[in-house]
């Protein structure tokens, strides 16, 4: 099974890497850069806190689900689920809150 969409979400700021004391900050920054090059299609997103990380993840997963349903519908293998655009999904979500 392949995953068409993926992301790594970090619940902190990128600048916090350079405040680490138990590991060399430059080593962590280098590892992140190497991972981003090796897995270029997987974004690394730094969110300031858990709430922002959850918000970003929620929107990312919603967009990925919408795109997946659209792709299935275009290929004729739809799951029978009504297609809802990303904008419609967000509008409904905002109205519920």
Span 48-71, pLDDT tens digits = 999 999 999 999 999 988 888 888
Query: 39-74 burial, b for 16+ CB within 10 Å, e for fewer?
Result: eeeeeeebbeeeeebeeeeeebeeebebeebeeeee
pTM of the complete model beyond 0.85: no
**Measured distance CA(95)–CA(92) in Å, rounded:** 5
Beta bridge pairs of residue 10: 46
Q: Which of 17-26, 34-43, 65-74, 88-97 has the lowest mean pLDDT?
A: 88-97
* Helix and strand counts by DSSP (H, E) for the chain: 3, 2
So what's the pLDDT on residue 66? 87
**Measured distance CA(1)–CA(15) in Å, rounded:** 35
């Amino acid at each position: 099974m392949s995953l068409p969409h993926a992301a790594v979400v970090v619940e902190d700021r990128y600048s916090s890497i350079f405040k680490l004391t138990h590991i060399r900050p430059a080593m962590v920054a280098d590892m992140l850069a190497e991972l981003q090059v090796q897995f270029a299609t997987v974004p690394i997103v730094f969110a300031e806190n858990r709430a922002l990380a959850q918000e970003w993840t929620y929107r990312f997963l919603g967009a990925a689900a919408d795109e997946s349903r659209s792709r299935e519908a275009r290929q004729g293998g739809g799951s029978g689920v009504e297609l809802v655009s990303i904008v419609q999904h967000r509008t409904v979500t905002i109205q519920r809150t």
